[in-house]
Homo-oligomer: A and B are copies of this chain.
Amino acid sequence: MEKSTLKIYNSLKREKELFQPLNPPYVGLYVCGPTVYSDVHLGNVRANLTFDVVFRYLTHLGYKVRYVRNITDVGHLVGDLDEGEDKIAKKARLENLEPMEIVQRYTNGFHDVMQIYNILPPSIEPTATGHIIEQIEMVQRIIENGYAYESNGSVYFDVPKYNEKHPYGQLSGRKVDELLSGTRENLEGSSEKQSPLDFAIWKKADKGHIMRWNSPWGLGFPGWHLECSVMSTKYLGLTFDIHGGGMDLLFPHHECEIAQSVAADGQEPVKYWMHNNMLTVNGTKMSKSLGNSFLPHELIAGDHDLLEKGFSAMTTRFFMLMSHYASTLDFSNDALMAAEKGFQRLMNANKLLEKLTYDGDDNNYDLSQTKEIDDLLDQAFEHMNDDFGTPQCIARLFDLSKKINSYYEKQLSINDLNSQTFNRLKETFPKIIFDILGLKDESSGNDNGAMDGLMELILNIRKDARDKKDWDTSDKIRNVLNTLNIVVKDGKEGTNWTIN
């Protein structure tokens, strides 16, 4: 049921479409990964988190997903255009390292951050340098088909020529004429190009350029847009299901991918294009130059002027999921504080749910209660089926949390629900939280839940001490917990603790 009703907003069609994979139960998913020349920023985290949830949800629906996410380790130039230094080579020059040492360092850093945010590794993680031959061969096919030309050792894609037969700009909604009038001046700086809209698919290596390979056009390296066309179609077929990436990549990067594939192989490469939106901070675009951007570790440590405290990776993950991927996501201290509380509320409810056992009567239960729970669970999935509507799905989880809390207060026994719905709740609630939304209970992140067990023991001893008016012991406990930054909260839903 769930499978047949998933709808995805397709950037190419500018509308939500029923998701119908080309070759079910297989689904091919390609996402543009990082250029590994600097620390991962929160924009990267959001993009990867978006498609992590897509990957998880499609898997939940029973699809066999081959998820390909590349690593760009060559060819991405400073300024994202056809002139300038390679981003990785530049960093290597500045740090006096071999470019592949830069690649290794920041690939490791990227993997570490992905792990912290509980973002699953893809099925295949190909690199641009690992596919030079295939890229050269794609350039050759494009030349053979008449859509590219060599110029002074570089090869450029001929956009006007392509546009005669195929609509260039269909993804971004741009027209060649308008693009031309906007970019007339740029041509002067790059006389190798016949048109300012043309883009490099192979670049001649300047003197001193370390990352370069022999090709039919001399020593050089592939253009940035090319690698994704090559690697997506190599591993997923000439036309595949879903291509994802940040909205900033829609033009020119993804537009060029379409043109390259059509020019080389005569096929539109992608059925569904998905784009996640950007980050803002207190309503302003997040950017390094504005000084309002922070890195994941700064967010976790609270090491930034705009943050009053640190926020854990799972709080941040939860916070990001509270906005739809296609909306901008606004970071602010207050919004993070609210997300932290909400996340804790969910974790609490789940812990209480774990403790609940069925003590009802299948011949005598509350029909409307049962229907309410079933409806909330159904709705949670309906929201996910509506273009991965995580905010609405989470809202239903909050509704369910309230119900769970009320059941728990009735002393671990319930006769409101029938056993079928009770069991469904017990199974589905954590499945949505942990498997589909990919959250983790950080308070039990240690080995075998030993921390949980010790805290339960200590809180127990503290309660005994208070009952016995043994203030010495209860003070001692309070002081140690303070020192360890462990915050204990006594609430309606029982006693909870977190490490700050």
Measuring CB to CB, which residues of chain A are less than 8 angstroms from any residue of chain B? 66, 98, 100-101, 103-104, 108, 111, 121-127, 129-130, 132-133, 137, 213-214, 235, 445-451, 453-458, 460-461, 464, 473, 476-477, 480, 483-486, 499
Contacts and interface: CB of A to CB of B under 8 A. Distances in A.
Given A98-B124, A101-B123, A122-B104, A129 B130 contact: yes
B454 A98 contact: no
A453 B473 contact: no
Nearest to A445: B447
Given A448-B499, A450-B484, 10 more contacts: A66-B98, A98-B235, A101-B123, A103-B124, A127-B130, A133-B213, A451-B454, A454-B455, A457-B458, A457-B480
Given A214-B137, A447-B499, A448-B484, A235 B458 contact: no
Contacts of A123: 98, 101, 104
A473 B464 contact: yes
A222 to B, nearest CB: 12
A29 to B, nearest CB: 13
Q: Tell me the dominant secondary structure on chain A's binding face.
A: helix
A124 B104 contact: yes
Q: Which of A447, A448, A483 has the most CB of B within 10 A?
A: A447
A25 to B, nearest CB: 13
Contacts of A456: 480
A66 B100 CA distance: 11
A450 B133 contact: no
Contacts of A104: 121-125
A451 B455 contact: no
A91 to B, nearest CB: 15
A104 B235 CA distance: 13
Nearest to A129: B130
Contact of A66 (B101, B213, B449): B101
A202 to B, nearest CB: 14
B464 A458 contact: no
A456 B460 CA distance: 16
Contacts of A66: 98, 101
Given A104-B124, A121-B108, A235-B98, A477 B451 contact: no
Nearest to A456: B480
Given A104-B122, A121-B108, A122-B104, A484 B454 contact: yes
